[in-house]
Structure 1
Amino acid sequence: MNRLTILTFILSSSLYSGTFIGVVTDYSNGTPVIDANIIYTDDISRGATTNEKGLFSIQINSDSIEILVKAIGYKDYNKFVFLDQADPVNIKLQKKTIKLSPVEVLAGRNSLIGVTKNFFRLNGSSSLISRAEVIEFNDTDINRVISQVPGVYTQEEDGYGLRPNIGMRGSGLERSAKINMMEDGILIAPAPYSSPAAYYSPTAGRMESFEIRKGSSQVKYGPHSTGGAINYVSASIPDNLKFQGNISGGQFGNKFGKFKTGVSNKNYGIMFQTVLNGSDGFKTIKGGGNTGFTKNDYLFKARVNSTNELAAAELKVSQTNEISNETYLGLTREDFDVDPYSRYRASHKDKMTANHAQISLTAAIKLFTNSDLTTTLYQNKFHRNWYKLNKIAGQSISSILADGNNGENYNLLSTLNSEDDIYDIKANNRDYLSTGIQSIIRSDFDILGNRNDFMLGFRMHYDEMDRFQWVDLYKMDNNNLFITTAGTQGEGSKNNRLYTANAKSIFIENEVKISKMILTAGGRFESINLERKDWGEDINRDSTAGSIKQAKLDVFVPGAGFSYLIKDGINIFGGVHAGFSPPGPGIDDDDDILPEKSVNYEIGTRYNQGLNSAEILFFYNDYENLLGEDTESTGSGTYAQFNGGEVQIKGIELSLEKVFRSNKLIFPVSFSYTYTDAKFLNSFDSDFDPWGNVIKNDELPYIPKNMYHLRSGVEFNKFKFISRYKYVSRTRTTAGQGDYDRLYITDNIKVMDLSLKYSINSNFMVESKILNLFNDQSIVASRPAGVRPNMPRTFSMGFLFDF
């Protein structure tokens, strides 16, 4: 931490800035306006956007400049500003008297917060990583993007964020299965009901912003309502003809390219974006081999709207292709201490191939001046085949690594030669489908002089996961793996199965404003039908499945919250809601797994005044029944589900933000902190590896007690320097209490990143980044099998353009 302070001081004390800073607020109540566009003409830049606190900054060469401020739901605003103003200018926008157009409604439905929602007055915990914040580091790793958000936990796996593990407020992290992962307001996990473990995550590098909702405000999304929801907001169609790009390269063969072009007029808009990302990998395989990846992403949007502003429709099509030479095989702790970035020879055949195709059509219609209807048809297809080492000489790789360097089969990890059929490499071949229709009717009206914002929505959803796997057997010959027995597709235990889910849901929510109080109440009803079919050895599926397991769930998930404005800039908020996660149909015919249920509470306060903001809240999650799943990434890969009984999770979330000014220098600083206490309230024995044999008051695995994130920087003339520091305290890798056992913990993680940008002119900018500046080498996890490191220090340089 001292090194961060010294470095920031040295850079900021010797450089001159021509930076103008401002705040955009609502004229009627003084609350921040988020994602407002600041438009101007200057030698340096042409635009900026406000963050969730309403703040923006621009670099200018002249002493004064005229700016145009545009925000959805507000009147345009022109202002002539001077650089030498002692205080940041407060731009107050007046709301439109005319209701939102269908084009603006479309933008609002892509958001979990809503484009005209008063962010400061939301009755639940919400965080926005705005467009302005996204471009500070132009991250491609979602773990780095959301590390600044309190109450959100991540477990790194590959160092690039290809398969993130994200949890919120103590919910499980495994493959992000306990949160609602969405893109533009639509469920994006491959099969969120039938197989929620998300081996696919949207490409973070192509997103425009990110939204996180927790607490009572997120019950309407489903199917998971304990932790929260994360919404990836994709690139929007530009207002005018645009061509933008970002090209960068760096250590370990890292390369990144992002290009976007589009245009709009009164009745249509189109946009095309492509993201090309890849690396040679920062790990080395003993004996040679590829540890890198390539991931290419393409996005197309087209919009049409009527001249009379009564209707609009938007088509979205995307395609993602990935080849990554990733493995489940980590290291023993002894080998990690010698070289944390090495890989055993036995993993050199491991490879993931994945393809994701997405299409959606959204239409918005103005029913009345105060009401609108939005309907979206969507379909997501995902295929992946992770061909990876599973067993050696009949022993699972996780068990081999747990035995350490003196284990019976340890030497086979990097032996020169072996007998036939020693290495069991499994093709985890699966096809996913997620499709449905969702509609939302929104209306605002007055009753007895109190403003109401009413929403009614429904969703009909179907998803499936088709597992058609096989196992090939190999031998090691002169330090290379050669196939000795080819497997038959579909043969083997649990390798020929189809999981399906049909879900119908309806939600209702009303927000009423009574003087300084905003009250929100609502709920979601879901009817879920789950089915698992197992054809066993019938690989052609010519007959009826030999085993069929079905389950039906009907559930109502209520929630209520409030926000009270104590005075301008200070409010308190709170809420209570039911938590729910559906179980699958079961791995075996006699399984009888209960759904996850909890009651969750939060209360907090917010402060926002000019360049200063703060939020602190307390949360308490009372689980009646916790649900765990034995995926290959967390256990032995049986995909059996387990009930963990009663669990109590409580904690504190804190965030602070301030912008300092010294003469003409601008110093933005933000800080977030999370404290979490997560314990089992009963004793039981479990075959789920991360739990094991649980004793009452055992702490949950992979939930850190303390996390904090510090961001600071300086803006001067054509330069912008930003640093960020992340600390995550060690976690248990299995449930336990008392003193930590080194064999069953992660390390404290301390990572600093730096970004420096220089604007050449209004169209071109160069940037350099250093990730993990002090080369912290930490054990970030001991799963899927063995311990694994974070990314080492990595340097990159890039070139950005905007026409």
Structure 2
Amino acid sequence: MKKIILFLFLCLFSISFSQTKKYSISGHVLINNSTVKSQIVVTNTNQIFYPNDNGYFNIAKLEVGVYYLNIYAPGYTNISDTIEIKNGNIYNLLYNLKENINELPEVLVGSESMTGGELGIRKLPGSAYFISPLEIQKFNYTDIHSVLKSIPGVNIQEEDGYGLRPNIGLRGSGVSRSSKITLMEDGILMAPAPYCAPSAYYFPTTGRMYAVEVLKGSSQIKYGPFTTGGALNLISTPIPQKLTGKLNINGGSFWGRNIHGYIGNTHGNFGYLVESFNYGSNGFKVLDNGGNTGFNKNDFITKLRYASDKEARIKQSLSIKLGYCQETSNETYVGLTEDDFNLTPYRRYSGSQMDVMTSVQNQLSFTYQIQPKKGINLSTSFYRNNFQRNWYKLSSVKDSLGNKVGISSILADPSSYQRHYELITGNTSVGEESFYVKGNNRTYYAQGVQSTLDIDYTTGELSHDLQFGIRYHQDGMDRFQNQDQFSMNNGIMFQTAHGELGTESNRVRSAYAVATHLQYNLKYKGLDITPGIRYEKIDLKEIDYGKYDPERIGTDASLKSNSIEVFVPGVGFNYSLSPKATIYGGIHKGFAPPGTTEGSLPEESINYEAGTKFFGKHLNLQTVLFYTDYQNLLGNDLAATGGNGSGSFYNGGAARTLGAEFFASIDALKAIGLKCKLRLPITLSYTYTNAEFLSDFESDFESWGDVYTGYEFPYLAKHQLSSRLSAHYKNVEFHINSKYNSTMRAQAGNEDLNSVEHIPAFLIIDCVAKLHVNQNISINLNIQNITNKAYVVALRPAGLRPGLPRIIQLGINANL
């Protein structure tokens, strides 16, 4: 009997033990073999697990059964997996997340992204960079200059400190109002009037962007009209696949603030996104009379999408995007004399107290995408952008003798214009002395339809990708300006005369353009060859009604027109030396459309590049040499560059730029095989650029002047160096970002820089500390220009302009 009882007890114990035995599921979550902050949701138990700093996870105390895992990281495609536990632990699972450019099905991505993300740039036959959502989130920059400063080959001239009106060039193409690059948002041209008035007085709000792409070399001929330097594409927040929300609130120095929020979801076939961004400050400059020098900018975006079922034989989607952006900024073209800058670099003269920019931009686009069969994708977009702005700002001063002098001349030589200088700085005016404040009232539009057909197929060992695109585009600018007069009394300006609209500048400009491109990629084993050609037909017109016809009757109107047809060919190659290393090169024609100015020729050049790419487990590396041979270089008369603001183009004749770019990122501790919870990623980029004119000519373009062979380009640093050191430990991040620019000359020449007007070299350091309270909430402390260095960013349009002083901001970021 005792033996029977003992036997039954052992049976019950073994049954009980088998029922309570627990198992585990473990493995790693990585991105390109690097770690990322992610989460794993076990959907049928409602549990959330967070991999450690090495990407390792261990889900313990699991019973026998089936478990549904959802692996998620912001900015990357979700992975779903089903794991069944039978009689043992599950080890060594590996989930490699892929970047999600816009969270549409993979076959419908191409219309919004130029590169295809970090994985895509490995295959491109040219120099390209993708700034991912995770990179953007590190510093929460709202200034595109700051976002791009780690990218080699990008030339930048700061202006207002906040990046409201960026000046960006690529490989020496010229930085003035970003007018020499192809600027896009979600693959759609976004300059106010890209063909007839490309100067970007409107620039997409950087703070609401999801990712940023920079494309240079032969592969960017698809993205005209500007093909010399390259293209810049800003990717806006995508419609999420599941309920997702975000709220970022940051505030600090000079009452600066930026508030960014959105919410979106996809219900079956329907998706939506609603987003807002507010950005403002009271300004870091100090007006002599104590007025506001800050700004306020509001941006609202709504997106809607209807897509076919994932299982549908023919996949389709229709997307609608609506945007509204309003800005009021108390900005000026008035800088400082050198002596005043050395004493008080953030001073603003009383004469600029009336200066203010008001603008409104709205955008609307419809995008239809269809995949009739696997390997064939068609995307068509209809778009319309409107932009209205009035920059009301001081342009000139008249003394008691009736001498009217522009602000640029006054501040460049205050001793020769002593009385004008005294008036600008607040002296009471007498008699006929006046301040002329110009209302630069302009309206722009851009509209068109573009369509791209992409066909992928294979024949034996050959892979083919054929892309054909066509775009019909119209844009226009209406200048309807006036000029008021003011007097000064004890530092306060009061109006004495009102100028009628249309009596200062009164003209209308328009452009009609048809562009097509054909690009073919042939892949055989490790070799990619990509020839392509672009065709542009552009008709430009301008009607100038003059200053005495505000009713636009047209009695004395003058008409200008210009027509251009051009073929822009290019070819590039990419050869894989190994799964990690490639070499690439290319040659293509550079082009930029001229204006309506009589005798103005298009900008034309031949561009060469050759480089290497290496993408390892802990090290990424890009190097490239480039050479641009200009047959004709174009300059543009802009008030922003100290000119008259006519918008006329100048032929600069032959010129050349050459240089080298270097970019490297390494996870230092992992690279040397040190296993610890601390991570030390390091990023380094360097650009060398040498650019000079190869012909003699006379020019009214202030930054050029009279040019002789061998003169170097102005506003182009020969050496640019950027570095970033990061530290990640558990739930804490710390980043230090530095940017060095060598001395730049302010006007074309070949004299020693110290003997002529120049912008001195500067080194600026930013840092950020971030604490992740949990997976959804983080707190960050951002410090820009940590040393509080007072530095000069430009001597134009009028006088010396300071860069941003030390800015401290504290913020909280919350994700739904």
Asked whether the 8 Å contact 2:435–2:486 carries over to 1, the reply is yes
Offset at residue 756 of structure 1 (A): 0.5
Q: Give yes or no for the alignment of 1:481 onto 2:484.
A: no
Pairs within 5 Å for 1:517-532: 517-532=527-542
Match of 1:229 among 206, 228, 231: 231
Q: In structure 2, do the counterparts of structure 1 residues 46 and 762 end up closer, same or farther at CA, with 3 Å as the change threshold?
A: farther
Match of 1:435 among 438, 447, 453: 447
SS in 1 for 2:234: strand
Asked whether the 8 Å contact 1:557–1:577 carries over to 2, the reply is yes
Q: Give yes or no for the alignment of 1:568 onto 2:579.
A: yes
In structure 1, give the amino acid aligned to 2:332: T
Q: Which residue number corresponds to residue 782 of structure 1?
A: 795
Offset at residue 546 of structure 1 (A): 1.4
Offset at residue 272 of structure 1 (A): 0.4
Q: Which residue number corresponds to residue 331 of structure 1?
A: 336
Asked whether the 8 Å contact 2:595–2:648 carries over to 1, the reply is no
Pairs within 5 Å for 1:233-272: 233-272=235-274
Q: Give yes or no for the alignment of 1:680 onto 2:693.
A: yes
SS in 2 for 1:148: coil
Q: Work out which of the two has the higher radius of gyration on C-alpha atoms and give 1 or 2.
A: 2
Q: Which residue number corresponds to residue 414 of structure 1?
A: 425
Q: In structure 2, do the counterparts of structure 1 residues 545 and 562 end up closer, same or farther at CA, with 3 Å as the change threshold?
A: farther
Offset at residue 193 of structure 1 (A): 0.2
Asked whether the 8 Å contact 1:59–1:717 carries over to 2, the reply is no
Deviations 1:612-641 (A, max 9, x none): 111111000000010001110112323222
Asked whether the 8 Å contact 1:106–1:363 carries over to 2, the reply is no
SS in 2 for 1:133: helix
In structure 2, give the amino acid aligned to 1:777: A
Asked whether the 8 Å contact 1:780–1:790 carries over to 2, the reply is yes
Asked whether the 8 Å contact 1:363–1:376 carries over to 2, the reply is yes
Q: Which residue number corresponds to residue 68 of structure 1?
A: 71
Asked whether the 8 Å contact 1:70–1:77 carries over to 2, the reply is no
Q: Which residue number corresponds to residue 795 of structure 1?
A: 808
Pairs within 5 Å for 1:292-691: 292-307=294-309, 308=312, 310-393=315-398, 394-405=404-415, 407-408=417-418, 409-419=420-430, 420=432, 422-492=434-504, 495-536=505-546, 537-543=548-554, 546-586=557-597, 591-634=598-641, 635-661=643-669, 662=674, 663-691=676-704
SS in 2 for 1:132: helix
SS in 1 for 2:145: helix
SS in 2 for 1:412: helix
SS in 2 for 1:690: coil
Deviations 1:709-740 (A, max 9, x none): 10011111211111100001110110011311
In structure 2, give the amino acid aligned to 1:518: D
Asked whether the 8 Å contact 1:102–1:310 carries over to 2, the reply is no
Asked whether the 8 Å contact 1:533–1:549 carries over to 2, the reply is yes
Offset at residue 742 of structure 1 (A): 5.4
- Alpha-carbon distance in structure 2 between the residues aligned to 1:552 and 1:161: 34
Pairs within 5 Å for 1:720-739: 720-739=733-752
Q: In structure 2, do the counterparts of structure 1 residues 555 and 545 end up closer, same or farther at CA, with 3 Å as the change threshold?
A: farther
Offset at residue 761 of structure 1 (A): 2.0
Q: In structure 2, do the counterparts of structure 1 residues 47 and 800 end up closer, same or farther at CA, with 3 Å as the change threshold?
A: farther
Asked whether the 8 Å contact 2:30–2:97 carries over to 1, the reply is no
Deviations 1:532-579 (A, max 9, x none): 011122212234771111111000001100000011211100000000
- Alpha-carbon distance in structure 1 between the residues aligned to 2:247 and 2:773: 15
In structure 1, give the amino acid aligned to 2:461: G
**RMSD value over aligned CA atoms?**
2.7
Offset at residue 370 of structure 1 (A): 1.6
- Alpha-carbon distance in structure 1 between the residues aligned to 2:447 and 2:593: 18
Offset at residue 107 of structure 1 (A): 3.1
Q: In structure 2, do the counterparts of structure 1 residues 89 and 530 end up closer, same or farther at CA, with 3 Å as the change threshold?
A: farther
Q: Give yes or no for the alignment of 1:40 onto 2:50.
A: no
Offset at residue 78 of structure 1 (A): 5.1
Q: In structure 2, do the counterparts of structure 1 residues 702 and 21 end up closer, same or farther at CA, with 3 Å as the change threshold?
A: farther
Deviations 1:420-451 (A, max 9, x none): 45101000000000000000001101235310
Greater CA drift, 527-536 or 629-638: 629-638
Give structure 1 stretches of 5+ with no counterpart: 1-19, 26-31, 49-55, 81-87
SS in 1 for 2:342: helix
- Alpha-carbon distance in structure 2 between the residues aligned to 1:715 and 1:40: 20
Select the structure with the greater relative contact order (CA < 8 A; seq sep ≥ 6). Answer: 1
- Alpha-carbon distance in structure 1 between the residues aligned to 2:326 and 2:526: 50
Offset at residue 763 of structure 1 (A): 2.5
Offset at residue 747 of structure 1 (A): 1.4
- Alpha-carbon distance in structure 1 between the residues aligned to 2:215 and 2:620: 19
Q: In structure 2, do the counterparts of structure 1 residues 802 and 61 end up closer, same or farther at CA, with 3 Å as the change threshold?
A: farther
Match of 2:199 among 188, 197, 200: 197
Asked whether the 8 Å contact 2:382–2:449 carries over to 1, the reply is yes
- Alpha-carbon distance in structure 2 between the residues aligned to 1:89 and 1:168: 43
Asked whether the 8 Å contact 2:29–2:38 carries over to 1, the reply is no
Offset at residue 380 of structure 1 (A): 0.3
Q: How many residues align?
A: 752
- Alpha-carbon distance in structure 2 between the residues aligned to 1:412 and 1:476: 8
- Alpha-carbon distance in structure 1 between the residues aligned to 2:98 and 2:356: 55
Offset at residue 117 of structure 1 (A): 6.1
Q: In structure 2, do the counterparts of structure 1 residues 316 and 196 end up closer, same or farther at CA, with 3 Å as the change threshold?
A: same
Offset at residue 46 of structure 1 (A): 8.2
- Alpha-carbon distance in structure 2 between the residues aligned to 1:791 and 1:374: 42
Pairs within 5 Å for 1:748-767: 748-767=761-780
Q: In structure 2, do the counterparts of structure 1 residues 410 and 296 end up closer, same or farther at CA, with 3 Å as the change threshold?
A: same
Give structure 2 stretches of 5+ with no counterpart: 1-26, 61-68, 84-91, 399-403
- Alpha-carbon distance in structure 2 between the residues aligned to 1:544 and 1:442: 51
Q: In structure 2, do the counterparts of structure 1 residues 328 and 166 end up closer, same or farther at CA, with 3 Å as the change threshold?
A: same
Q: In structure 2, do the counterparts of structure 1 residues 119 and 252 end up closer, same or farther at CA, with 3 Å as the change threshold?
A: same
Asked whether the 8 Å contact 2:30–2:55 carries over to 1, the reply is no
Offset at residue 74 of structure 1 (A): 8.8
- Alpha-carbon distance in structure 2 between the residues aligned to 1:107 and 1:566: 28
Q: Which residue number corresponds to residue 170 of structure 1?
A: 172
Q: Which residue number corresponds to residue 89 of structure 2?
A: none
SS in 1 for 2:610: strand
Asked whether the 8 Å contact 1:421–1:485 carries over to 2, the reply is no
Deviations 1:11-39 (A, max 9, x none): xxxxxxxxx996434xxxxxx899x9955
Q: In structure 2, do the counterparts of structure 1 residues 129 and 512 end up closer, same or farther at CA, with 3 Å as the change threshold?
A: same
Asked whether the 8 Å contact 1:72–1:104 carries over to 2, the reply is no
- Alpha-carbon distance in structure 2 between the residues aligned to 1:320 and 1:189: 14
- Alpha-carbon distance in structure 2 between the residues aligned to 1:112 and 1:455: 13
Q: Which residue number corresponds to residue 707 of structure 2?
A: 694
In structure 1, give the amino acid aligned to 2:569: P
- Alpha-carbon distance in structure 1 between the residues aligned to 2:162 and 2:194: 23
- Alpha-carbon distance in structure 1 between the residues aligned to 2:118 and 2:247: 29
Asked whether the 8 Å contact 1:68–1:77 carries over to 2, the reply is yes
- Alpha-carbon distance in structure 2 between the residues aligned to 1:540 and 1:765: 58
Give TM-score scaled by structure 2 length: 0.88
Asked whether the 8 Å contact 2:29–2:55 carries over to 1, the reply is no
Q: In structure 2, do the counterparts of structure 1 residues 439 and 323 end up closer, same or farther at CA, with 3 Å as the change threshold?
A: same
Q: In structure 2, do the counterparts of structure 1 residues 46 and 475 end up closer, same or farther at CA, with 3 Å as the change threshold?
A: farther
Q: Which residue number corresponds to residue 12 of structure 1?
A: none
Pairs within 5 Å for 1:92-107: 103-107=105-109
SS in 2 for 1:191: coil
